[in-house]
Structure 1
Amino acid sequence: MGKQATIRFLQDGAEQHAAFELMRELRPHLIDADAFAQQVRRQAQQGYRLLGAFYGEQLIGLAGVRHSENLLYGRFTYVDDLVVAPELRGLRVGAALLDAARAEGLRCGHAHLVLDTGLHMPLAQRFYYREGLLGKGMHFVQALPATEPQRHG
C-alpha cells in the first residue's frame, strides 16, 4: 500500500467495539467485544484513549494512550497497547501511531513517552529501539487473590 494511514482518536462506542478483533491480535485473552468496549469506557474515565490508524474506513492499527504522572518521569504519556494488522506490519503504521502518541505528549507538555513490552516479544523490542525508545527497566507483576472474579474484557 503506497498511501499513508490517517491517525485519529476513536470517537465513540461503535468505533471502540469495531476495534475488538484487531486488539485481540495483541491481547488474545480478550474474548467478548461488548466487555472490551465496556472496559475501554471504564479506562477512558482514567484518561485512556484509543488512537486508530485507518486506510480509508479500514482500521489497521491501534494505540491505547493515556497520561500519567509519577516521581520517576513527572507527567508523561504512556502507551498501553500498540498493534498493527499482521498483514500490514512493516509499512510504518506502528511508527505513525507512536508519532501520534509523541505528538499528544508534546501537546500536553510531557517530557517522556513510556511503554512496556513483554520479554517474549523480541520483534516488538527491536521495533521500539528502531523508533528511538530505550529499555530503561523491567516490569514485575504478581497476581493478587481476588475476593470476587474480576471482569476483564
Structure 2
Amino acid sequence: MNAMRLQIVTTQWECERCFDVMRLLRPHLVDIDTFVDQLMRQMAMGYRLLAAWCDHVVVGLAGYRLSENLMYGRFAYIDDLVVDETQRRGGLGARLIEAVRGEARTLGCRYLVLDTGLGMALAQRFYFRQGLLSRGMHFSQSLDPQEPPR
C-alpha cells in the first residue's frame, strides 16, 4: 500500500468510507445512511473527523470537537479514536492523537480531553503513553427508557 495520509472528512462519499472502521469502535451503528446523516449533522455543529487513508481505504479515525467550559477553558475533546485491527501497533493511533493535539494547540486550546471505558485497560495504557492522564470519572444516564445502559 501507499503512504498513509491524514485528511479531514468533508463529503458524503468520505463519510461512507469511514463506516466500517467506525463500527469497530461503535458496533451499535448498523445502517450506513443513518451513520452518514448523523455525521453530517455533527459536522454542522463543529464535529471534525480526521481519517487516515491508505490509498482509498480508511484505516483509522479520530473524531473530535473544540469546546470551551469553566473547567478547562478552550479544549479539544476526542469523541472517537479507532484504528483498523490490521494497522494497530504501527503508531497510527499516536499519529492521529498528535494531529488533533497539534490543531488544538494552533487554535489556542489549553487541554486535550477524552473518555474511555473503565474496563478498557489496553486503551488506558495507550492514553497514558500519549501523555493523557486520568483526572476523574465520567458519569452518564440514558434518558430514553427503551435504551439499555452503555
State the TM-score bracket (shorter-chain normalisation). Answer: over 0.9
**CA–CA distance in structure 1, aligned partners of residues 138 and 89 of structure 2:** 27
Q: Which runs of 5+ in 1 are unaligned?
A: none
TM-score (structure 1 length as normaliser): 0.90
**Counterpart residue identity of residue 23, structure 1:** M
Matches of 1:73 and 1:55, distance apart in 2: 35
- State percent identity of aligned pairs: 50
Q: Secondary structure at the match of 2:143?
A: coil
In structure 2, what is the equivalent of residue 72 of structure 1?
Answer: 71
What CA deviation, in whole Å up to 9, does each residue of 1:47-102 have, x standing for no partner?
Answer: 00110011222211000011011110011011000000011110000001001100
Point out 4+ residue stretches in structure 1 off by more than 4 angstroms: none
User: What is the DSSP-based 3-state SS (H/G/I as helix, E as strand, rest coil) of the residue aligned with 2:33?
Assistant: helix
- Would you say 1:122 and 2:126 are equivalent positions? no
Residue 24 (structure 1) shift? 0.3
Would the aligned equivalents of 2:76 and 2:111 in 1 still touch at CA under 8 Å?
yes
Aligned residue type for 1:31: V
State the alpha-carbon separation in 1 of the partners of residues 82 and 144 from structure 2.
30
Alignment of 1:26-105 (within 5 A): 26-105=25-104
Contact 2:17–2:57 under 8 Å retained in 1: no
Instruction: Tell me the amino acid that sits aligned with residue 5 of structure 2.
Output: T
Higher relative contact order (CA 8 A, sep 6+): 1
Instruction: Measure how far apart 1:114 and its partner are.
Output: 0.5
Deviations 1:102-132 (A, max 9, x none): 0110121111110001112111111000111
Aligned residues: 147
Question: When the two structures are superposed, what TM-score results if normalisation uses the length of structure 2?
Answer: 0.92
Q: 2 CA distance for matches of 1:98 and 1:34?
A: 27
- Counterpart of 1:19 in 2: which secondary structure? helix
Shift of 1:4: 5.2
Residue 34 of structure 1: how far off its partner (Å): 0.5
| Gap regions ≥5 residues in structure 2 | none
In structure 1, what is the equivalent of residue 138 of structure 2? 139
Root mean square deviation, CA, Å: 1.7
Q: Give the Cα separation in 2 of the matches to 1:118 and 1:33.
A: 25
Structure 2 partner of 1:17: 16
CA spacing shift, 1:144–1:5, aligned 2, 3 Å: same
